[in-house]
């Protein structure tokens, strides 16, 4: 493998493919970003109180109901800002966290401006 190359192992279907029905999502969780300088984790239902810990190793696909930017952490740990996401869009990603604010800035900046966000599992 060449220097600087990243290998990503993506788990596929195991065993009898025909015996494993595939659906888009089994569950959903509305994501509410805190009002100031905080982030929201993506959870399975029911969500733990106060969004204090990540409780799943798999990420979730994201539905954006209201247009804007969405700042996410992916399963890999990478942080990505999707700019100009249109209302009614599905992001076919595996997100584990939604960043709401850049609290490192002296005046915290809102990084996710999209609204009506739903995590689909």
Report yes or no on 5 lying in a domain.
no
User: What is the domain count for the chain?
Assistant: 1
pLDDT at 19: 57
Does residue 85 belong to any structural domain of this protein? yes
DSSP letter, residue 103: T
**pLDDT tens-digit readout, 89-111:** 999 998 988 888 887 777 778 89
In a domain, 9, yes or no: no
Measure the CA angle with vertex 117, ends 52 and 72; round to 5°: 60
* Most confident of the following: 8-12, 14-18, 23-27, 50-54: 23-27
Selection from 82, 86, 87 nearest residue 65 by Cα: 87
Is the per-residue pLDDT at 56 higher than 60? no
Q: For residue 16, tell me if it sits in a domain.
A: no
Over residues 69-83, mean pLDDT: 92
Which residues are within 8 A (CB) of 40 and not within 5 positions of it... i.e. 6 or more apart?
A: 31, 32, 33, 34, 51, 97, 98, 100
pLDDT of residue 82: 96
Q: Which domain holds residue 94?
A: 24-120
102 inside domain = yes
Burial (Cβ within 10 Å: 0-12, 13-18, ≥19) of residue 28: middle
Domain-located, residue 18 = no
């Amino acid at each position: 493998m060449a220097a600087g190359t990243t290998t990503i192992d993506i788990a596929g279907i195991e065993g009898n493919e025909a015996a494993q029905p595939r659906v888009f999502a089994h569950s959903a969780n509305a994501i509410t970003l805190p009002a100031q300088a905080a982030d929201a984790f993506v959870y399975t239902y029911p969500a733990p109180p106060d969004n204090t810990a990540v409780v799943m190793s798999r990420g979730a696909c994201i539905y954006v109901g209201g247009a804007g930017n969405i700042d996410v952490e992916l399963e890999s740990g990478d942080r990505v800002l999707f700019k100009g996401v249109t209302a009614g869009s599905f992001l076919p990603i595996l997100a584990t966290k939604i960043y709401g604010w850049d609290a490192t800035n002296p005046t915290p900046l809102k990084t996710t401006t999209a609204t009506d966000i739903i995590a689909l599992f």
